[in-house]
């Protein structure tokens, strides 16, 4: 048996982007039509990270997604990711596509000295494990301020933990 739930973290002022779920549709059809597309200003949760300092030699953003204990990705639902930079001349995401969700994503990055903010929009589903699956939809925007400096040898790692 598959029970569907809708969980969205949002700011109190931006509730108009939600549509009422139609539970008469099959679970395969309950996808991103419930929410706005990633990248829309009215998207769900916004997580702002502390500024990171990385080396210009960095080649990838290593993004880790941690689900609550007892949860797994729901692979029959769309997984969408969009990566952008406010200063692509300093920090530019490369071509990247992920059709299936993963706890570890390796996103190509080109970096030169300076400061930029990387934005990662994610849309995915996850479910409880066991005989009865309860599934949730998550839409989140990660905002990561980055300083690219010759004085750093740090890898570009970000961890997003889904709250219970």
pLDDT tens across the length of the chain (164 residues): 444 444 433 333 333 333 333 333 333 333 333 334 444 554 589 999 999 999 999 999 999 999 999 999 998 888 999 999 999 999 999 998 887 889 999 999 999 999 999 999 999 999 998 888 899 999 999 999 999 999 887 789 999 999 87
Q: Are strands 114-128 and 133-148 parallel, antiparallel or unpaired?
A: antiparallel
The pLDDT assigned to 18 comes to 37
Which pLDDT value is given to residue 100?
Answer: 83
- Burial degree of 99 (CB within 10 A; 0-12, 13-18, 19+): exposed
Q: Which DSSP string do the residues of 2-41 spell out, in sequence order?
A: EEE-------TT--TT-----TTS-GGG-SGGGSPPTT-T
The reported pLDDT for the residue numbered 20 is 37
pLDDT for 3 equals 42
Q: How high is the pLDDT of residue 114? A: 96
Burial class (CB in 10 A: 0-12, 13-18, 19+), 139: buried
């Amino acid at each position: 048996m598959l029970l569907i739930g809708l969980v969205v973290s949002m700011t109190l002022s931006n509730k108009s982007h939600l549509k009422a779920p139609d539970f008469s549709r099959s679970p395969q059809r309950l996808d991103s039509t419930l929410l706005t597309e990633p990248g829309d200003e009215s998207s769900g949760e916004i997580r702002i990270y502390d500024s990171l300092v990385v080396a210009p030699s960095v080649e990838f953003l290593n993004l880790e997604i941690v689900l609550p204990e007892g949860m797994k990705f729901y692979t029959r639902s769309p997984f969408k990711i969009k990566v952008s930079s406010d200063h692509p001349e300093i920090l530019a995401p490369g071509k990247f596509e992920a059709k299936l969700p993963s706890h570890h994503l390796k996103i190509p990055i080109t970096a030169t000295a300076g400061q930029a903010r990387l934005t990662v929009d994610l849309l995915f589903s996850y479910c409880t494990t066991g005989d009865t699956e309860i599934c949730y939809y998550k839409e989140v925007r990660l905002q990561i301020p980055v300083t690219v400096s010759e004085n750093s040898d740090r890898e570009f790692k970000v961890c997003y933990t889904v709250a219970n």
